[in-house]
Each structure stands twice: as C-alpha cells, then as structure tokens.
C-alpha cells in the first residue's frame, strides 16, 4: 500500500490488521514442516502416547533417520528422482527453447495454430492421459523403467516451457537480432549468439520450475514404476513405508522431510527465478 | 528499414552464391535462412513429443473408453456402454459431484485468502523477503510428501488438532467464576478422515494449504504493478482502505487474477495426490474425485476401458475452461 496510508496508523491498529493476520498465515504455512521435523526425531514410545504433549520432544532420537537411510532404498530413490528430473528438464528446455523462439520470432504458416495447440496441451492434466500412456510406454519397451518418466514428464513441461519462453523472447528487442543479421550473421547465428544469451534468465526460470515440477510428480511415477529400486522419492516413500494399514510414522516423516530438502535448497538459491517462472507461467 | 532489407537481401544473396561452390552444410545453412523452414525445424522436437506422448495417447484413451479392455487382453468395441455404466453408478456420480464441489470451494477459498495474504505481503516490513520465501514453501515441496504430514496430523487416534481440542477442553475455562464445562467424559474431536463430510473438508483444507502460496505470490506480483499514484489520488478523494481495495486494487489486477483462478481451477480439478494419500477415496467411496476413480477402476480393478471413460469425463469441463481462456487471452492481446 502507499506510504500515506500508513501515516497516522496507530501501532495497535497495525498489530490487529497486519501483524497478527500475517503471523497466523506464516504459522499455518510452516506448522506442517515443524511437525514433520519433530515427529521424525521422537521415539516411538513418545509418538504413540496420547497422554503427553505432542509439542515437546523429551528424548530426541535419530533412529528414524537411520532407518530411512539404511533400511530403505531412500538414497536410491533420491538418485532416481534427481536423474529423472534433470533429464526431463533438459529435454524440455531443449524443445522449449527452440519451439518458444520459433513461435515468438518467426512467421510461418501454422504458427498461430501451433501456439493454440501448445496452450491446450498445457492444460491437459496427467490424470487424463495416464491410462493410455501406460500402453504407449510398454509399446516402447519401457515397462517399469525410469526412462519412461523422462519422456512422460516433458508432456507437461514442454508446453509450459514454450509458453513461458514465448513471453520472455518477446521482451527481447528485435532490433538486436536485426543488427546482427546486417553484420552478416545467419538466422541461426543470431538466435544462438544474440538472443539465447539474453534469454538466460528466462531459460533459468523455466528450468528451475520444470525441475521442481518433475521432482514433485506423482501419478505417472506411481503408475509406470513397480520395482522398489526404480521408484522416485514421492512414490517410494508413500509406497514402501506404508505396509497395508501399518504406518511407520517416524521414518515416513523423515522421508517427507528429506524428500523436500533438495527442492527446498534449489528453491532457496533461485527464489527470484522461481517466482518469475511461476508468475510468468500464468501471465503468458 | 529499406536499407535493412537491402542488406539482408545482400546477405542472403552472398550466402546463396557461397552455396553454389560449397558443400552440403552450407546448403543447410541457406535453407535455415528461410523463416518457414527454420520455424518448422525448431518446432520439430516439441511437435514429435506432443504427437507421440499427448495426441496419440489421447486418441488411444478415447478408443479404449469405447472398448471393454481389461489388463492384458485386447478389448472389444462396445460403443458407449462404459459411459452409460458410469452414469448409472452411484460411485461415479458421487465422484463427479465431489470433483465440482471440491474444485469450486477450494479455488474460492484459495482466491480469497490468497488475496488477503498478497495485500499483507505487499506492505513494507522488515524480513519481508524472508517471509515471502517462507510462505511459498508449501507450494514447492512434493505434494504427496506434505500430504503425508496432513495424514499424520489428521490421524484418527493421534491427531494433533484433536490433542489441542482436548487440551483446551481440559483447561476448564471459566466465565464470571462459573466453569462452563460440564464433564461430558473424554472428548474425541472430529473423525477427520473417517467421516465423509469431515473427510471432504480435510481434503479441501490440505489443498488450500498447498495452493494458497501460488495465489498469494501471483497476486502479489500483480499488486506490485499497480501505480501508487492511483492510491494517492484515492487518498485525496478521502477513500477508506477497504474502498481503495475494492475500487482501485481489484480492477487493476483483474486480468492476472482471472488467469490465476482459471489456471488453478484446472489443476485442482484434476487433482489426484491429495485424495490418494488422505483417503484413497474412502470412507465407502465417498471422497473420490474423477482422477482417483479412474485410477481405481483402471489400476486396481483392471478395467482399463471403464477407467479411461471416467477420465474422459474431465474433457467437457476442461474444454469450457480452455475456450474461456483462449477468448480471454485473445481479448487482452487485441487491446
């Protein structure tokens, strides 16, 4: 709000309309993470005793963490997820940068139609495609294979990247490219040497966002993968740490915590890029 | 401009003459100078991916929905029997209603709270950057993993919310010296996930928690584009804070707000993970959404045809949203 609105605002009023609501929002947003953490370091005896306060940790233990890393394939799942997320982000950026450039900069027959189709595919949810895609993957011999995800994730990442990058390429002045072409550069050279370096912030935003989307994906990974050693973190933690009706809450919460840490780290380094990717994704 | 064209033409001619004497690589270079050729070449990777992994599966899914295909066997064409069977089943009708209810209610709450949070975050205060980053956390961590925490916090026996309720109950709050509590015995608190309406409420709560940051941060980005002169002018006219929000802020950020709401609508509509983790559609199939029902029919029961048909019921609504978005985007494009 403008500064003049704050002039004369009493501290008491500011407390009621601003600090208290903001505190409650932040508290509500962060409380589940706090809960993850303290659940993962309590002993089973404390976890399953309803008479004592669940907010205190009387006897902190790293037993659940040890169990997560030693008795489950958690590290393997992390590796799988990292690998799948990196490759699918790479594929998507490659197809997205080229496609985004073509649709933003070149005029050719069918470009408008293609933009509309990109937009439509952008809105197609995985829930609509997972059943037939299972058939397509087995046709390619990719049953229970991490490679299947590397091709499945670009289905929602490529439209996203193209959409985001069209917007970004349009902010780069066309004159720069024209100058390069006057100096004798070919179209491809102008694109690779002039436009792409300028588009790095946009490409980075698309990449960060695509990476976190792939890290978090669940449905395709759940349907396509069956052996424990091929699973990604979200599927491994929910699938292998819940046996029938038995929930191992300590290791489960440790898994939730450590499955969130890598994306949280990537995010903390690139908050600004992540935010511009997110807001750019809806602005188009 | 004419000079540019002349020079471009000169460049093209130059490279064309080079082609004549040089190898195939320069023939490719010349071809790529053609805007049309280059456009098609650059779009090829995206095009192939979309055809093989989106368009073809979509067609295949539509075909499967018209067959009685089960896992491991080729299906026979049965027309619209799957759709008829679904429309006739209570579980499907509940799932379809749940999907609409869940999407509308959750999106409305997220939009309202998100706007409030965005307005709060738009003020100047110390630690504002850290606060913004922290508020986004629920949105960036894997949904299933954060939903597991909700599953634990809403546990039938060990729910922390119910622990707090019991604790408040035991405090014996008194008003004017009268203890308002009578001994009703041991208070249990709601059965969050075990009772249909509480379960739907819990699912909405978890969805709001996860989706709220997206709204708040998108709205915040839009708020920051509103010129402060408008507020100064409103101040001169003596407008109150609420009126300024209603008559200045809201109209200014409407274009972004609409796109955000529609986008979230599509994502919420097709949600799978929340229900899968929290209730698996239970109790008694009362909380299924179209996505989880399609999963249960196809992957658990093995009826791929029926599952594909259930998933296809998402198309009409998606179609409406896409048409709305496209016409809306076109309109702002024209302006």
Interval B22-39 mean pLDDT: 80
Residue B125 region by backbone torsions, left for phi larger than 0, else alpha for psi between -120 and 50, else beta: beta
Strand B174-175, strand A246-247: pairing? unpaired
Are A206 and A76 contained in the same domain? Answer: yes
Contact B269 A109 (CB under 8 A): no
- Residue B218 exposed, middle or buried by CB count within 10 Å (0-12, 13-18, 19+): buried
CB B25 within 8 A of CB A78: no
Chain B CA closest to residue A249: B152
Q: Does position B333 have pLDDT exceeding 50, yes or no? A: no
Chain center to CA of B138: 14
Tell me, what's the pLDDT at A89? 96
* CATH code assigned at B244: 1.10.3720.10
Q: Using a CB-CB distance cutoff of 8 angstroms, which residues of chain B are in contact with residue A47? A: 158
Would residue B268 count as lying in a domain? yes
Residue A271 tokens, joined: 């908050």
Q: Using a CB-CB distance cutoff of 8 angstroms, which residues of chain B are in contact with residue A107? A: 35, 39
Tell me, what's the pLDDT at B307? 94
Q: How far apart are CA B329 and CA A12, in angstroms?
A: 44
Q: Select the more confidently predicted residue: B186 or B64.
A: B64
- Of the candidates A23, A39, A61, which is a domain's last residue? A61
Tell me, what's the pLDDT at B334? 36
Q: Which of A178-192, A236-250, B158-172, B180-194 has the lowest mean pLDDT?
A: B180-194
Tell me, what's the pLDDT at B309? 94
Q: Does position B335 have pLDDT exceeding 80, yes or no? A: no
Tell me, what's the pLDDT at B23? 66
Confidence category of residue B26, pLDDT binned at 50, 70, 90: confident
Are A228 and A249 contained in the same domain? Answer: yes
Q: What's the whole-model pTM score?
A: 0.86
Which SS3 state, helix, strand or coil, does residue A242 take? strand
The whole-angstrom distance between A71's CA and the closest CA on chain B is 19
Element of type H or E holding A66: helix A63-71
Q: Does position B187 have pLDDT exceeding 60, yes or no? A: no
Tell me, what's the pLDDT at A240? 87
Of B43, B149, B167, the CB nearest to A114: B43
Tell me, what's the pLDDT at A51? 78
Are A120 and A43 contained in the same domain? Answer: no
Residue of A15, A44, A120, A123 to mutate, interface with B, max B Cβ within 10 Å: A123
Q: Select the more confidently predicted residue: B187 or A188.
A: A188
Contact B325 A256 (CB under 8 A): no
Interval B223-246 mean pLDDT: 87
Q: Select the more confidently predicted residue: A122 or A20.
A: A20
Are A137 and A255 contained in the same domain? Answer: yes
Q: Which of A84-98, B9-23, B41-55, B208-222 has the lowest mean pLDDT?
A: B9-23
A16-67 pLDDT per residue, tens? 889 999 999 999 999 999 999 999 999 988 888 877 888 888 889 999 999 9
Q: Select the more confidently predicted residue: B84 or B22.
A: B84
* CATH code assigned at A79: 1.10.3720.10
Tell me, what's the pLDDT at A26? 95
The number of domains in chain A is 2
Of A39, A95, A132, the CB nearest to B152: A39
Contact A2 B232 (CB under 8 A): yes
Interval A118-144 mean pLDDT: 90
Q: Which of A123-137, A218-232, B19-33, B113-127 has the lowest mean pLDDT?
A: B19-33
Would residue B96 count as lying in a domain? yes
Contact B145 A48 (CB under 8 A): no
Contact B50 A121 (CB under 8 A): yes
The whole-angstrom distance between A194's CA and the closest CA on chain B is 16
Please indicate if any CB of chain B lies within 8 Å of the CB of A279: yes
Are A48 and A82 contained in the same domain? Answer: no
Please state the ipTM of this predicted complex: 0.89
Would residue B164 count as lying in a domain? no
Range of the domain at A17: 3-61
Task: Please state, for a pLDDT cut of 70, what percent of chain A lies above it.
Answer: 95
The number of domains in chain B is 1
Dump strand ranges (E) for chain A: 242-243, 246-247
The whole-angstrom distance between A203's CA and the closest CA on chain B is 16
Confidence category of residue A244, pLDDT binned at 50, 70, 90: confident
Q: Select the more confidently predicted residue: B16 or B312.
A: B312
Are A179 and A41 contained in the same domain? Answer: no
Q: HSE-up of A120 (CA within 13 Å, CB side)?
A: 16
Range of the domain at B243: 90-156+191-334
Reference B154, options B202, B195, B204, B187; nearest CA is B202
Are A26 and A141 contained in the same domain? Answer: no
Chain B CA closest to residue A248: B152
Would residue B163 count as lying in a domain? no
Tell me, what's the pLDDT at A110? 86
A&B contacts, CB < 8 Å: 303
Are A49 and A118 contained in the same domain? Answer: no
Would residue B282 count as lying in a domain? yes
Q: How many DSSP H helices and E strands does chain A contain?
A: 18, 2
Q: What is the mean pLDDT of chain B?
A: 85
A221-238 pLDDT per residue, tens? 999 999 999 999 999 999
Are A57 and A116 contained in the same domain? Answer: no
Of B29, B39, B146, the CB nearest to A111: B39
Are A127 and A190 contained in the same domain? Answer: yes
Tell me, what's the pLDDT at A151? 94
């Amino acid at each position: 709000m403008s500064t003049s609105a704050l002039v004369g605002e009493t501290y008491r009023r500011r407390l009621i309309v601003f600090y208290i609501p903001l505190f409650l929002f932040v508290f509500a947003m962060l409380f589940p993470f706090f809960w993850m953490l303290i659940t993962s370091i309590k002993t089973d005896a404390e976890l399953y005793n309803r008479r004592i306060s669940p907010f205190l940790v009387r006897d902190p233990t790293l037993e659940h963490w040890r169990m997560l890393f030693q008795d489950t394939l958690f590290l393997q799942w992390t590796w799988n997820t990292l690998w799948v997320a990196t490759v699918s982000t790479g594929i998507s950026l490659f197809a997205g940068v080229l496609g985004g450039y073509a649709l933003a900069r070149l005029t050719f027959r069918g470009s408008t139609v293609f933009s509309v189709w990109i937009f439509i595919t952008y809105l197609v949810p995985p829930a609509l495609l997972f059943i037939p895609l299972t058939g397509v993957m087995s046709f390619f011999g990719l049953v229970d294979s991490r490679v299947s995800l590397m091709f499945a994730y670009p289905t929602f990442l490529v439209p996203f990247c193209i959409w985001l990058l069209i917007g970004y390429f349009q902010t780069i002045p066309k004159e720069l490219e024209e100058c390069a072409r006057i100096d004798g550069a070919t179209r491809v050279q102008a694109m690779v040497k002039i436009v792409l370096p300028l588009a790095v912030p946009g490409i980075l935003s698309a990449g960060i966002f695509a990476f976190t989307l792939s890290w978090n994906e669940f449905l395709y990974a759940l349907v396509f993968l069956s052996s424990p050693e091929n699973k990604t973190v979200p599927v491994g933690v929910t699938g292998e740490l819940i046996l029938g009706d038995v929930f191992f809450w300590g290791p489960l919460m440790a898994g939730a915590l450590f499955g969130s840490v890598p994306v949280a780290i990537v995010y903390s380094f690139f908050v600004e890029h992540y935010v511009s990717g997110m807001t750019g994704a809806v602005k188009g | 401009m004419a000079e540019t064209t002349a020079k471009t033409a000169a460049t093209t001619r130059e490279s064309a003459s080079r082609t004549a004497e040089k190898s195939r690589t320069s023939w490719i270079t010349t071809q790529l100078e053609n805007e049309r050729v280059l456009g098609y070449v650059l779009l090829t990777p995206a095009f192939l991916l979309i055809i093989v992994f989106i368009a073809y599966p979509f067609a295949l899914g539509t075909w499967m929905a018209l067959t009685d295909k089960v896992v491991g066997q080729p299906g026979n064409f049965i027309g619209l029997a799957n759709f008829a069977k679904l429309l006739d089943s209570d579980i499907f009708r509940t799932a379809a209603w749940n999907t609409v209810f869940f999407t509308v209610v959750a999106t409305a709450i997220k939009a309202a709270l998100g706007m409030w949070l965005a307005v709060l975050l738009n003020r100047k205060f110390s630690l504002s950057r850290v606060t913004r980053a922290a508020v986004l956390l629920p949105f960036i961590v894997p949904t299933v993993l954060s939903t597991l925490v909700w599953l634990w916090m809403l546990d039938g026996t060990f729910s922390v919310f119910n622990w707090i309720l019991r604790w408040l109950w035991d405090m014996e709050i008194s008003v004017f010296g009268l203890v308002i509590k009578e001994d009703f015995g041991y208070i249990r608190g709601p059965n969050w996930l075990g009772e249909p309406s509480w379960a739907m409420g819990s699912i909405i709560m978890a969805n709001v928690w996860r989706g709220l940051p997206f709204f708040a941060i998108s709205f915040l980005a839009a708020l920051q584009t509103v010129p402060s002169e408008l507020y100064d002018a409103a101040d001169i006219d003596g407008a109150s804070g609420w009126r300024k929000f209603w008559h200045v802020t809201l109209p200014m950020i409407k274009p972004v707000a609409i796109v955000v709401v529609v986008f979230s609508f599509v994502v919420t509509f097709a949600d799978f993970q929340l229900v899968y983790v929290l209730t698996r559609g239970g109790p008694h199939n009362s909380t299924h959404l179209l996505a989880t029902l399609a999963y249960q029919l196809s992957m658990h029961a093995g009826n791929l045809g029926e599952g594909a048909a259930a998933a296809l019921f998402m198309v009409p609504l998606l179609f409406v949203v896409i048409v709305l978005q496209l016409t809306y985007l076109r309109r702002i494009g024209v302006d």
